[in-house]
Amino acid sequence: MKRLLLLGISLTLFGGAASQAADVPFDFEVLQYRAKVLATKPYAERANRVPESLRKLSYDQYRDLRFNPHAAWGRRDRLPFQLQFFHPGFIYNRTVLISEVIDGQADMIRYNKNLFNFGANKDLGEIPGDMGFTGFRVHTALNNSEYLDELAVFQGASYFRALGKGMRYGLSARGLALNTAEPGGEEFPVFDEFWIERPSDKSKSITVYALLDSVSVTGAFRLIITPGDATVMEVKSAIYRRKDVAVFGVAPLTSMFWFGENSTKLNDDLRPEVHDSDGLLVQRGNGEWIWRPLTNPKSIRVAALGDDNPKGFGLVQRDRKFSSYEDLEAHYHERPSVWVEPLGAWGPGDVRLVELPTPNETEDNIVAFWVPAKLPPLSEPVCFEYKLHWFQEGKPGARTPPAGYAIATRVGRSATQESDLIRFWVDFTSNYLNNQRALPEIDAEITVGAGAKLMHKSVEKNPYNGTWRVAFAIKPDGSGTPVELRCYLKKPPHHLSETWSYLWTP
């Protein structure tokens, strides 16, 4: 009680600024209280301190403005985690405040020209010292002890990305998703301020705090980032709502799917597939694993997979073969997957998948998140804790179902016979399945929803690679209804694979 009283006095004296009273050390409780107080006031965006000379920079001019790696935060003391900051300019004009926390005391990291190399940008005029930065990146010895690689990036709204060993940047995570795919448009909360705990020279993790703010919500976040073969972020959040929203999305992941093996290619791109993720993987509270291949739909599609206390979900890049992409620039086969592992009981709700149409690979069009069935009253915080695992299939830390799992989905029609049928090939694999002989007892359970009926099915063991192929055909009823499909391998009374789930759209 005494601590909360002192905290209230501190925030009154300092007007909610980053500084804290000397007798109230900065921690998550302090940040949560600040978010609570902020939620009682109308939303007010912080004044833009970026001068016009920076806002007018062209793309090429902005690219010539780079952080000086010799000025990295933590470099002089040879800390195991170091920070580099992003300079405002061009379209990156929303700045954030960044502070370091040493022994519980927060001290703002002020903008300084000496932190950057300006290249050919000579006449930018006076730049205010309180301008701030547009974000930061964390470096550490991720792949070897001789070089500090990028580990994580925080920039733009509440977006952030991370890498494990041997990975290249791909999909992103966010602090919160509000009203995604709703008719009135999505609201994008912003990480307005950050605090980074200064690590010791022996630290294996780095801790980042963030204050979230938007028209509808405020929030406090703590992320403990531990690098490795699979990098793990332990997230603690407390969200306060200024008002109710239609969709409250927890632990959102954002990715890109342009086309894959299940797509009908309508372009002249020479690559076989282009995507950062190829499926949504869910482990339900009852232990069932569900795999839903991603698509690039003709119109917005939203799927809700109802559950109670889910064990986890994630957007996964399951196909790791270079030959599937043939891209020496984008390296899609090295993009990370991300698994959300709930900590504690999340209760009832649904894992929601939003798929948006995209004309190219430059726009993210896939979003997945958890939507609680019920939220507490507006006066109470919405609190969630979870881990984000940034991993690659086939490497330590991967999240793979223990039974068989789908590795390929192909959809098409026969050009000659029964051309009115839609045909599917789904390939399953696992060590157990690949070691099984072609037995008639191994069969496929296929469910076809309204709008079509099942016409043919077969199950074959592939003699060339040991996988199992389920081939089936459906006949649409002509109503134009999207058809939900489910399929898994079985050897009664046992399930031998995850459940493949797909929505076919006419």
Q: What is the mean pLDDT of the chain?
A: 93
3-state secondary structure of 228: coil
* CATH number for the domain whose boundaries are 405-504: 2.60.40.10
pLDDT tens digits, residue range 113-155? Answer: 999 999 999 888 888 888 999 999 999 999 998 899 999 999 9
Percent of the chain past pLDDT 90, that is, above it, reads: 87
User: Does residue 24 have a pLDDT over 70?
Assistant: yes
DSSP line for 444-469:
EEEEE-TTEEEEEEEEEE-TTTS-EE
pLDDT at position 291 = 98
- CB-count exposure of residue 377 (10 Å: 0-12, 13-18, 19+): exposed
pLDDT tens digits, residue range 340-375? Answer: 999 999 999 999 999 999 999 999 999 999 999 999
What band does 16 get if pLDDT is binned at 50, 70 and 90? Answer: very low
User: Does residue 7 have a pLDDT over 60?
Assistant: no
Across 250-282, b (16+ Cβ under 10 Å) vs e yields bbbbbbbbbbbbbbeeeeeeebbbbbbbbbbbb
User: Does residue 466 have a pLDDT over 80?
Assistant: yes
pLDDT tens digits, residue range 174-195? Answer: 999 999 999 999 999 999 999 9
164-187+245-400: CATH, from 2.60.120.260, 2.70.98.10, 3.30.360.10, 3.40.50.150: 2.70.98.10
What is the tally of helices (H) and strands (E) in the chain?
5, 33
User: Does residue 451 have a pLDDT over 90?
Assistant: yes
Report yes or no: 260 and 277 within 8 Å, Cβ to Cβ.
no
Domain chopping of the chain, boundaries = 164-187+245-400, 405-504
User: Which residues sit opposite 382 in a β-bridge?
Assistant: 239
Report yes or no: 459 and 424 within 8 Å, Cβ to Cβ.
no
pLDDT tens digits, residue range 213-251? Answer: 999 999 999 999 999 999 999 999 999 999 999 999 999
pLDDT tens digits, residue range 276-323? Answer: 999 999 999 999 999 999 999 999 999 999 999 999 999 999 999 999
pLDDT at position 71 = 96
Residue 64: CA count within 13 A, CB half-sphere: 11
User: Which residues sit opposite 502 in a β-bridge?
Assistant: 485
Pairing of strands 217-226, 147-155: unpaired
3-state secondary structure of 285: coil
Same fold yes or no, 164-187+245-400 and 405-504: no
pLDDT at position 23 = 61
Query: 171: which DSSP letter?
Result: -
pLDDT at position 6 = 40
pLDDT at position 266 = 67
